[in-house]
């Protein structure tokens, strides 16, 4: 275990935050001994996977940061069209997807290029381009942080929802996911329905894409819309897309007929937070407060808004970015202003999908 470790390389926003203790786990046995150690019993702790979905509000974490870096991918079972694959929690998610696609296994291809590690993927049930992790998830193993015992969680026990699972809610902070099993198919129809996948393929002259071509197309679509975290700090989508009552949606649609929307099974309507943010701005706020925006303080849209250190990505308003030299507090303030202005304009309070530490 190390002390006073700067977490800048371990959070995709790239904020400076120092951890009092830092334990890197390469083998699951190391985790067991850590859990039984005195330091772990007496200090607060934070489980860090890829650090792609966390926001450090303060510059010091007064406890133990546990960084999961265990590697390994193995086939547990292969039968006809099915293959069960186990990936250790510390495997890089995009590498794992690339590996599966390379083998010709279907089931995670639309989740290509999502930064992060395998162990974090079930926690927020990552999703993109019409696919969610839960769709081909079989089970995961997780270690109980009080006893050091391993428990298997079935899909049902994980209680997956839109960017939700039991690990983010009822069992928050109680388990560390150590490995995840996926049930993949050697042959399956490709899901090309979402957004601009089809138009992208058409533009590139691809009529009947292979699994690999779909994977590559999704990587290219994401690259065009989302910042590269190696260059600009961000945590991907900062907010969740809100699900609202149909009556509210119909009322809003009168003033905003172009508002995109997706019907939910329960009769409610999901509205893209990115659109709501783009269609509100600092000028929407009755009382301008907080982060001063140089030059763009009175802007009518948040999209592309920035001050010296932080801003709203110019190609995707759902993504808050850190240009360097800022702090987690700058993002917190900006997020609050965005929430307030969206609420003032549309009567919807959007909530973050990023975990605040």
From the candidates 91, 109, 132, 353, give the one annotated as an active-site residue: 353
DSSP 110: G
3-state SS class at 71: coil
By rule CB under 6 A, what string of x and - marks binding of each residue 290-309 to ligand EPU?
-------------x------
Which span (149-157, 203-211, 281-289, 316-324) binds ligand EPU, by CB under 6 A?
316-324
Question: Is residue 349 flagged as an active site residue?
Answer: no
Cα of 135 vs its chain's centroid, Å: 16
| Pairing state between β 131-132 and 137-144 | unpaired
Query: Does residue 64 bind ligand EPU (CB under 6 A)?
Result: no
Calpha distance 56→15 (Å, rounded) = 7
Question: Is residue 237 flagged as an active site residue?
Answer: yes
Question: Is residue 30 flagged as an active site residue?
Answer: no
Torsions phi, psi for 319 (to 5 deg): -110, 120
From the candidates 49, 70, 237, 341, give the one annotated as an active-site residue: 237
DSSP 123: T
Specify the residue, 162 or 323, whose C-beta has the smaller distance to ligand EPU. 162
From the candidates 98, 139, 163, 222, give the one annotated as an active-site residue: 163
Give the containing element (helix H, strand E) for 86. strand 82-88
Candidate list 272, 281, 282, 293; residue touching ligand EPU; CB under 6 A: 272
Min CB(23)–ligand EPU separation in Å: 27
Min CB(272)–ligand EPU separation in Å: 3
Min CB(54)–ligand EPU separation in Å: 12
3-state SS class at 78: strand
Query: Does residue 275 bind ligand EPU (CB under 6 A)?
Result: yes
User: Tokens 């993949």 correspond to what residue?
Assistant: 184
- The answer to whether residues 45 and 112 touch, using CB atoms and an 8 Å cutoff, is no
Min CB(276)–ligand EPU separation in Å: 8
3-state SS class at 178: strand
Calpha distance 306→323 (Å, rounded) = 9
Calpha distance 186→210 (Å, rounded) = 13
Specify the residue, 113 or 139, whose C-beta has the smaller distance to ligand EPU. 113
Query: Does residue 109 bind ligand EPU (CB under 6 A)?
Result: no
Give the containing element (helix H, strand E) for 6. strand 2-6
Candidate list 173, 195, 324, 347; residue touching ligand EPU; CB under 6 A: 195
Task: List residues near ligand EPU by CB under 6 A.
Answer: 128-129, 194-195, 226, 236-237, 240-241, 260, 272, 274-275, 278, 303, 316-318, 353
Catalytic residue positions?
163, 237, 353
């Amino acid at each position: 275990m190390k002390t006073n470790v700067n977490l800048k390389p371990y959070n995709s926003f790239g904020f400076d935050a120092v951890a009092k203790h830092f334990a890197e786990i390469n083998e699951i046995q190391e985790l067991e001994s850590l859990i039984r150690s005195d330091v772990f019993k007496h200090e607060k702790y934070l489980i860090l996977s890829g650090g792609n979905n966390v926001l450090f509000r303060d510059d010091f974490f007064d406890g133990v940061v546990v960084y999961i870096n265990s590697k390994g991918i193995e086939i547990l079972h292969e039968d006809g069209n099915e293959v069960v694959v186990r990936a250790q929690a510390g495997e890089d998610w995009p590498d794992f997807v690339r590996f599966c696609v390379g083998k010709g296994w279907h089931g995670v291809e639309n989740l290509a290029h999502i930064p992060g590690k395998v162990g974090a993927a079930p926690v927020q049930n990552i999703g993109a381009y019409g696919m969610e992790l839960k769709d081909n998830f079989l089970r995961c193993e997780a270690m109980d942080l009080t006893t050091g015992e391993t428990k298997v969680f079935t899909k049902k026990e994980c209680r997956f929802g839109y960017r939700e699972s039991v690990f983010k809610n009822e069992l928050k902070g109680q388990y560390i996911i150590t490995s995840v099993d996926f049930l993949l198919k050697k042959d399956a129809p490709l899901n090309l329905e979402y957004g601009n996948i089809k138009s992208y393929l058409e533009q590139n002259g691809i009529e009947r894409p292979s699994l690999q071509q779909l994977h590559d197309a999704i990587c290219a679509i994401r690259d065009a819309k989302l910042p590269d975290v190696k260059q600009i700090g961000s945590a991907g989508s900062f907010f969740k897309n809100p699900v609202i009552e149909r009556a509210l949606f119909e009322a809003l649609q009168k003033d905003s007929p172009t508002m995109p929307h997706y019907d939910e099974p329960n009769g409610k309507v999901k509205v893209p937070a990115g659109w709501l943010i783009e269609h509100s701005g600092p000028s929407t706020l009755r009382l301008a407060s907080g982060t001063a925006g140089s030059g763009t303080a009175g802007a009518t849209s948040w999209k592309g808004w920035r001050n010296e250190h932080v801003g709203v990505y110019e190609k995707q308003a759902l993504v808050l970015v850190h240009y360097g030299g800022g702090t987690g507090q700058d993002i917190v303030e900006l997020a609050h202003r965005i929430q307030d202005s969206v609420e003032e304009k549309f009567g919807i309070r959007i909530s973050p999908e990023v975990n605040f530490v």
